Chain A
Amino acid sequence: DIVMTQTPLSSPVTLGQPASISCRSSQSLVHSDGNTYLSWLQQRPGQPPRLLIYKISNRFSGVPDRFSGSGAGTDFTLKISRVEAEDVGVYYCMQATQFPWTFGQGTKVEIK
C-alpha cells in the first residue's frame, strides 16, 4: 500500500496568517495515464470530509482561492494564504493512483 505521511499533525495558526501542510507518499503518485491523483480534503468538526483540491493543484468548485495545492511525484503541499475561523478542522491528503486508495493521517488546523 502507498503510505501517505502528513506533517505537521497539528498546526496552531493565528487568524489572517498562512498555514502549510506537507504530504509525502511512499511511492510516486504519477499514474500510468499521466495524471497524479492527489487530492486534499477538509473535515470540519462533526462534518463529513469536503473536497478542496484535486489532481495536486485544481481547486474544486466553490473553494476559496486562499487554498492552493502544489507538488509533484511524492511531495505535495496544501497552503492556506490567510487562515479564517471557518478553516478550523482536519485536513487529509489522499492518493488514488494505486489500489488501495489511501489517506494521510490528517493535520489538525486550529486557531491560536
Chain B
Amino acid sequence: RKEVEQDPGPFNVPEGATVAFNCTYSNSASQSFFWYRQDCRKEPKLLMSVYSSGNEDGRFTAQLNRASQYISLLIRDSKLSDSATYLCVVNGGNFNKFYFGSGTKLNVKP
C-alpha cells in the first residue's frame, strides 16, 4: 500500500466552480501535512500547510481528519490560473521524510 494516495483525475471544471480533492495516508503517526501545487515543467510550490483545526487561505480550504487518515483541499470560485497538479504531502514522523502523492490534475475551463 502506498504511503499517500490521491485520485489522479483529471478534474475538468468550469470557471467559478467549487472543486475538492481528497488524499489518504497510511501512517497514523504522521505529524504534518501539506498541499503543493505543480505547474507543467515547473517545481512544486507550497500551497498551504494543513492544520488539525482546518485552515483557510482565500479561496482555498484545507481539512485534516486524523481518525480517517485523510486530508482534503477545497477550491472555491475556480480560476483558469488554478489549472495545475495538486500534490498531497505527508511528513512521516520519526525523521524528516516526506511522502508525496502522485498528484491530482485540475483543468479549469473558460
- Chains A and B are bound partners: no
Binding site for A on B (CB under 8 A): none
